Amino acid sequence: MQNNSRILEVKSLKKYFPIKKGFRKRTVGYVKAVDDIDFYIKEGETLGLVGESGCGKTTLGRCILRAIEPSEGSTVFKDRHGKLVDVTALDNKQLRAIRRDMQLIFQDPYSSLNPRMTVLNIIGEPLLCNGIAKGEELRDRVKHLMELVGLNSRHLERYPHAFSGGQRQRIGIARALATNPRFIVCDEAVSALDVSVQAQILNLLQDLQEQFDLSYLFISHDLGVIQHISDRVGVMYVGKMVEMAATDELFNNPKHPYTEALLSAKPIPDPRAKSRRILLEGEVANPANPPSGCYFHPRCKYAQDICRHQAPAWTEVNQDHFSACHFASELSLQGVLAE
Ligand SMILES: Nc1ncnc2c1ncn2[C@@H]1O[C@H](COP(=O)(O)OP(=O)(O)O)[C@@H](O)[C@H]1O
Ligand code: SF4
Ligand SMILES: [Mg+2]
């Protein structure tokens, strides 16, 4: 179910990690991991977030949930009562309360689950911590959550090592669902899985979205996965959002040269078919020392003089189609259908 009302609005969000050097740990610079980003997520939609490794996707996802503190900017979230809450302004108690509504699913089902906890305790922990259920009721709720994500509920006393990669990811999803959230950040949630298992988990996420009217920020470096699951897509480059549009629009009618380059790039072949990272010519800019003007200019085949001096503004080129390129309206770029 999708409507146009926004569940999340991110404004001027920044995360600068200080670079410290020497004996006295002086700050000598900053890694601009998230550098002045604006966007929104509509209720019930999946916003995909794509970009090469190190471009700031994880940092952005975590700043939104305040799993790490943003340096500047705001994230306004619509809570379960329809109230707009600035997550960046909450104290710890308020933050704990809103976390019931905002959850995170991690990439690696091997390291994100505590190997010494049973599935009952892993999935039940958020219910116990938030005072939602205990004892027999907790057990029943965990069983129900296991069934929801396609796990056998008789296995609730087992430990994570007894499960396959796909099953572990289902445990992670059940845990994220336990508090009945409205919004989930899925950070490379299927990237560590084999392709056939990826498809099952993606289908599960889509079914759960329908069933519980969830909104997702779905982070992945894999364009195929992003195209499959997203209603809209945002493209990041060196801490900046460079383009955002509805999925078909972005893939067929890109308005940023970096998106065009991503779409034309070949996946790196992987014999285990677990990860299909994209291979692009030229080196990614360093977020601690980015180029002047448009960060993409050293790799951009359309770069002009102005690109070296002036940073392009984030502009709505068509309705709901944003791009940060001086020549977004003039360039005729190739989408995937043009192959
Ligand atoms: N805790 C940290 N301290 C310093 N730099 C960090 C930290 N976390 C991430 N970074 C840097 O921020 C940039 C963005 O990282 P990340 O958000 O993990 O990118 P992605 O998820 O797109 O691969 C990278 O240059 C990374 O090295
Ligand atoms: S602003 Fe210039 S360098 Fe940057 S993407 Fe557009 S054309 Fe390329
Ligand atoms: Mg990441």
For residue 266, what is the domain's CATH number? Answer: 3.40.50.300
**227 in a domain, yes or no?**
yes
The token pair at 7 is 């569940």
Chain centroid offset of residue 45 CA: 13
56 CA distance to ligand 3 middle (Å): 7
305 CA distance to ligand 3 middle (Å): 33
* Residue 221 Cβ contacting ligand 1 at under 6 Å: no
Name which residue sits closest to atom 6 of ligand 2, judged by CA.
325
Phi, psi of 306 (to 5 degrees): -55, -30
Q: Helices marked H in 48-164 — which ranges?
A: 57-65, 92-99, 119-129, 135-148
- Counting ligand 1 atoms within 8 A of each CB, the residue from 14, 16, 17 with the most, and so the one to mutate, is 17
Per DSSP, which regions of the chain are E strands?
6-21, 26-42, 46-50, 72-78, 84-86, 102-105, 183-187, 215-219, 232-237, 240-246, 266-267, 278-279, 315-318, 321-323
**12 in a domain, yes or no?**
no
* Residue 59 Cβ contacting ligand 1 at under 6 Å: yes
**11 in a domain, yes or no?**
no
Residue 304 three-state SS: coil
| 249 contacts 255 by C-beta, under 8 angstroms | no
Q: Which amino acid is at 263?
A: L
| 177 contacts 209 by C-beta, under 8 angstroms | no
* Residue 287 Cβ contacting ligand 1 at under 6 Å: yes
3-state SS of 226-245 is HHHHCCEEEEEECCEEEEEE
Name which residue sits closest to atom 14 of ligand 1, judged by CA.
56
Name which residue sits closest to atom 3 of ligand 2, judged by CA.
297
**248 in a domain, yes or no?**
yes
**143 in a domain, yes or no?**
no
70 CA distance to ligand 1 middle (Å): 13
Give me the pLDDT at residue 338, please.
43
Q: Could you say which DSSP state residue 193 is in? A: S
228 CA distance to ligand 2 middle (Å): 28
The token pair at 229 is 């699951």
Q: Which amino acid is at 73?
A: G
**253 in a domain, yes or no?**
yes
**How many domains does the chain fold into?**
1
Name which residue sits closest to atom 3 of ligand 1, judged by CA.
17
Ligand closest to Cα of 235 equals: 1
- The set of residues, in sequence order, having a beta carbon less than 8 Å from that of 21 and lying 6+ positions away, is 28
The token pair at 39 is 């966007």
- Alpha carbons 301 and 256: distance in angstroms, whole number: 11
Ligand closest to Cα of 277 equals: 1
Q: What is the pLDDT along the chain (339 residues), one digit of tens a residue?
A: 445 599 999 999 999 999 999 888 899 999 999 999 999 999 999 999 999 889 999 999 999 999 999 999 999 999 989 999 999 999 999 999 999 999 999 876 667 789 999 999 999 999 998 889 999 999 999 999 999 999 999 999 999 999 999 999 999 999 999 999 999 999 999 988 888 899 999 999 999 999 999 999 999 988 999 999 999 999 999 999 999 999 999 999 999 999 999 998 766 566 555 555 556 777 888 899 999 999 999 999 999 999 999 999 999 999 999 999 999 999 999 888 544
Q: Which domain holds residue 332?
A: 44-66+181-338
43 CA distance to ligand 3 middle (Å): 24
Ligand closest to Cα of 291 equals: 2
* Residue 17 Cβ contacting ligand 1 at under 6 Å: yes
**176 in a domain, yes or no?**
no
- Alpha carbons 327 and 339: distance in angstroms, whole number: 22
Total Cβ atoms within 10 A of residue 213: 14
**326 in a domain, yes or no?**
yes
Name which residue sits closest to atom 13 of ligand 1, judged by CA.
33
